[in-house]
Each structure stands twice: as structure tokens, then as C-alpha cells.
Structure 1
Amino acid sequence: MTFFTLTLVLSWTIWTPGALGLVDFGSLTLLVVVVGGFGPLVAAALVTWLVGGSLRAWVGQVLRWRVRPRWYLAALGIPLVAYAATSIVYLALGNAIEPSDILQQVSVYALPLIFVLNMVFVFLLGGGQEELGWRGFALPRLLERFNAVTASLVIGVVWAVWHLPLFMMEGTSQYGGPFVPYATTVLALSILFTWLYRGTGHSILVAMILHASYNSATVLIPFQPVQTGVVDWLLAAVVWVLALGLVAVYGRDLRSGHSEDRETVDGRVPPTT
């Protein structure tokens, strides 16, 4: 609770003036969003230090790169599959599309490079660093009390609400968008992140790659919908299908016999869920 509260306080203190229209950040909006986005990381570091935990062990989760290649493929590929499936369903329903804003400015051959550059930005500054808070701090502690699905949903609720001011701050990518389908998608995404986290033996590095890929995947789709509201709900449905599929296969603990999940960030063996 201390971590969640501190995360909201740190980020919302920076974002709220813009969300309420008290300050027009203008060209500095991206910088404000980035700075506020470090709330989960800073909160996790502070609480870890306050309770006498090991900051080295906490940060060390980012260095857990020795995982099976399939996990890297999953981190990169799941968002692409989700967005591609959403686009296919959208078109199958007879909805109209138009060239994406990026495609109107650059060649289609430049999209992979833009995707990689965007991933690097998100990985370091635009969301990837959040994972040291959500999955690196909160998740292992919640897993000591709840099964993986429940722990995921708890984080998902806070994770979604945490973004709320961005939907009211002009100049952000979320501004003016529908919050409810977004929050619905985030709840399902949280389950996907937990599955990846447990399967890789608590690799925050792979979770950061998933976060970066998800936030960048739309770059590779050269078209955009005319009815964005429809797509928001379709994406939520697709991600929930993926999440429920994982629950059906791996159970509520989201861990199989081949999982690399063996211990918590504090070195303790997690209880059976």
C-alpha cells in the first residue's frame, strides 16, 4: 500500500497541474510525461530502502537476461500479434481504414527502424522503467499472499488508474481517449506480464522489452482505423482472449512445470498458489 500510494503521489503531483488545466506545458508535455513516469521506479526504490531491503537485488532483476529465447520472442511478438489480430477483426467487420500518420510522412520501409528507435525510447524512458515498480517490487510481494491472477488484477487496477491524468492532459498520446476500454486492456495486460515474469524467473529485462514492444507495435501497422473507439474495445477483447488462454493453460498461478520461476526478489521460495 505504501508503494502504490507513493507511486500515485509522485506521478500525479507532476501530471495533475496539466490535467486540470492549471499549467499549459506546451512543448514540454513529453518531458513532463516522462518525468512523471518514473513514479513507480522511485517509489519502489524508496520503499525498498525504507524497509531495509536490498536495492542491489531489486535492480539486479534487470540483469536477468539468461532466459530461453522463446521468452524474448514472446515479449516482442505478443504485442504484434495482438495489434495485428485487432486490425484483422476490425477490417472483417467492414470498418474503414486510412494510412497511418507515420506512413503519410515516411516510406513503409522506414517503419521497422522507427519501431526499433521507439522501442529503445520506451524501454529506457517511456514505460519500460515502470517495470521495476509494478513487476519488480509489487508483484513478488503480492504473490506471497495471492495467486498470480489476483495479484495481476490488483496491479492492473492501480496501473490503469495511475495513467488517468494523462487522459486529461493535452498533448499526451492518451488525451481525449476512452479510459474504460484502456483500463480493461491494462487488466488483461497485467496477466500477460505476470506470466512472462514468472516464466523467466523474474526477469524484469524481458518485462521491459514486452512493455516497449507493446507501446511501439502500432508503428508497424501502416493503417489506422476511422472509428478509434471500436478498435479500443476490440483490442481489449483480443488481449483478454490471450490472457484467459494463458490462465486456461497454466492455471491461476500462471506457472508450468517448465517455468524458470524459482525464488522471489528477496531470495525466498514463493509459496504454492
Structure 2
Amino acid sequence: MELSQTKSQTKKSIYVYLLLTLVFSAVVWILTLHQGTGRIGGRIYGYGIMWCPALATYLTCKILKLDFTGLAWQWGNPKYQVWAYFVPLLYAAISYGIIWIMGWGGFYNKQFIREAAQSLGWSNLPDGVFIPLFFLVNGVLGFFASMSTALGEEIGWRGFLVPQLSKISGFTATSLITGIIWAVWHFPLIIWGSYNGGTPFWYSLTCFTVAIVSMSFICTWFRLKSNSLWTGVMLHASHNLFVQSFFTPITVANAQTKYFADEFGAVIAVVSVCFAIYFWTRRKELSVAG
């Protein structure tokens, strides 16, 4: 009876969290879809939507009297944080290497590099020096900005949802369920908003969903192995930073690029599946089986 009650309480906490996340997110979805022109609204609402899971987590803990301070806030073994940073960089580099080699996009976008150099005040540097320097500076300083938004989501997805699901299901089910919820949470802005690759919405949804569910396997493995939600933050922030702020803008687009590049293209989806399979094969290293 006690075990059954524990499972019931766990399921209740998950349902409350998901309901609150939906309610808060719906408000920001509506605001985003009705925003005016300019970048200010998009930036503010972008921050807002990514912190909805954190707010839902906090209120779920308050309502059900759960310990919000017990969401694996500890840093844990540094090696897992380091790998969490480099894994997205690795699969992004492989993905865009394939795109450039196959001619689905070109290296490198001189206009983007020129604008970036001018913005930083480094216009006097040759491209061969600026590109690696920009990569390093963006990968360090830009990473902190990326963490500030990723943290909002990760408090919810990996801080709360993954450990709760892992109490009642194995690694595979936890990764799948979290990944599907995580992907579907983005759907309104992909279907009705501008958060897509410019391809038919079904194509963007398919590629994005495959990539996000695959990433969920990676994030879940690191979260359960490290017992730290910061691995999720590192993975999420690294993915957003390198895919959205370096590899995609530095790629010269052609007629095929939108079908293969970025989070809504086929290449990252396929490569991330390969990474997910690798971490799935290492699931026996975790305390959660299955």
C-alpha cells in the first residue's frame, strides 16, 4: 500500500507540474503570437517562455509540500559538466561538417562574419583569425547568457520531471516521455509562430521532434548519472549556443539548407539519434534500469 501511495503521489506531482506548465506557457504563447514588430517583444517573451517550467516546478513544490531545494542543485562531478558542454558541440560540428561537405550549405558566411566583427570592434582582424577567436569568445562569454535561459527550462525538465518519472519508469520510458513532452511544448510556436526552419510545418515538426527526443536521452543519462540538474543546463545551453549562434549563422544558405541545417533540418536529427543510441546502450550504468 505504501509503495502504491508513493507512486500515486509521484504521478499526482507530475500531473500538477504539467498542468501548471501548460497554463503559464499558454499565456506566453498567446503574447508571443500577437507580438508586434521589432526584437524587444521576441526577446522578452523568449525569456518568459523558457522560465515557465521553472515557475511551474516551484509552485508544484509549494502546493504539494515538496522540497524545492532538493532538485539536485549540487554541481556534482566536474567531468560530467565538462562532457555536457562538449557533447552538443561535437554533434553540431559533425552535423554541419556533413552539411558543408554535401553542399547543403556552405562555409563560411562572410556577411555574418563581417557584421560580427564590426559589432565587436574587431573589423581589422582577418577572417582566418576572427573566426576561431569569435568561436572561443562566444563559446565562453556567450555561454553564460545561454545558461540563463536554459536554466529556466532545466529546473522543470531535468530538475523535476526526469527524477519524478524515473521513480515510476525506466530510463527508456523516462527519456521518451520527457522528450515528447519537451518537443510538444514547442509546437505552438513552430506551427503558428516564427520558430521554425521555413519548411512546411510537418517537416519542421518531424525533424525537431526527433532531435529533441534524442537530446532527451542524452540529458536524462547525464542527469541520472551525475545527480545534478546542471548537466542538463550545460547540455541545453551548449546546444542553443553552438547551433543557433555559431554553426547556423556561419553557414551560407542555399535552396537546400533549410531542409538539412539547424534544429528543424534532417542532419542534426539523424546525428542526434546516433548519439542517443550510444547513451541508451550505457543505460545499465545508471541506478534506474530499463
Give the distance between the partners of 2:150 and 2:189, measured in 1 at CA: 13
Query: 1:25: how far off?
Result: 5.8
Deviations 1:57-90 (A, max 9, x none): 13xx22x1231x4312211111111011112222
Deviations 1:17-54 (A, max 9, x none): 432xx442633211111112111001011111111111
Change (3 A) 1:182 1:29: same
Name the stretch that deviates more: 87-96 or 146-155.
Answer: 87-96
Identity among equivalent pairs (%): 21
After superposition, residues 50-199 of structure 1 pair within 5 angstroms as 50-58=63-71, 61-62=72-73, 64-67=74-77, 69-100=78-109, 102-105=112-115, 106=117, 107-108=130-131, 109-124=133-148, 126-167=149-190, 168-170=192-194, 174=196, 176=198, 178-199=204-225
After superposition, residues 250-261 of structure 1 pair within 5 angstroms as 250=282, 254-256=283-285
Aligned: 1:208 with 2:233: yes
Deviations 1:119-143 (A, max 9, x none): 111211x222211100111111111
Gap regions ≥5 residues in structure 2: 1-14, 118-129
Asked whether the 8 Å contact 2:104–2:260 carries over to 1, the reply is no
Give the distance between the partners of 1:96 and 1:52, measured in 2 at CA: 51
Asked whether the 8 Å contact 2:197–2:258 carries over to 1, the reply is no
Query: 1:115: how far off?
Result: 2.6
Equivalenced residue count is: 247
Asked whether the 8 Å contact 1:98–1:223 carries over to 2, the reply is yes
Aligned match of 1:18:
32
Give the distance between the partners of 1:119 and 1:53, measured in 2 at CA: 31
Aligned match of 1:264:
none
Greater helix content: 2
Change (3 A) 1:42 1:96: closer
Asked whether the 8 Å contact 1:112–1:220 carries over to 2, the reply is no
Out of 214, 237, 258, which is 1:228 matched to? 258
Give 2:241's aligned amino acid. Answer: S
Give the distance between the partners of 1:140 and 1:25, measured in 2 at CA: 40
Gap regions ≥5 residues in structure 1: 262-269
Give 1:133's aligned amino acid. Answer: G
Out of 35, 43, 46, which is 2:48 matched to? 35
Give 1:187's aligned amino acid. Answer: V
Deviations 1:155-205 (A, max 9, x none): 1111111112332334x5x474622211110000000001101111x2012
TM norm structure 1: 0.82
Q: Give 1 or 2 for the bigger CA radius of gyration.
A: 2
Equivalent residue of 2:179, what SS?
helix
Asked whether the 8 Å contact 2:32–2:41 carries over to 1, the reply is no
Equivalent residue of 2:113, what SS?
coil
Asked whether the 8 Å contact 1:40–1:132 carries over to 2, the reply is yes
TM norm structure 2: 0.78
Asked whether the 8 Å contact 1:16–1:165 carries over to 2, the reply is no
Q: How well do the aligned residues superpose, as a CA RMSD in angstroms?
A: 2.1
Change (3 A) 1:102 1:119: farther
Aligned match of 2:4:
none
Equivalent residue of 1:163, what SS?
helix
Change (3 A) 1:165 1:242: same
Change (3 A) 1:149 1:224: farther
Query: 1:152: how far off?
Result: 1.1
Change (3 A) 1:66 1:158: closer
Aligned: 1:238 with 2:271: yes
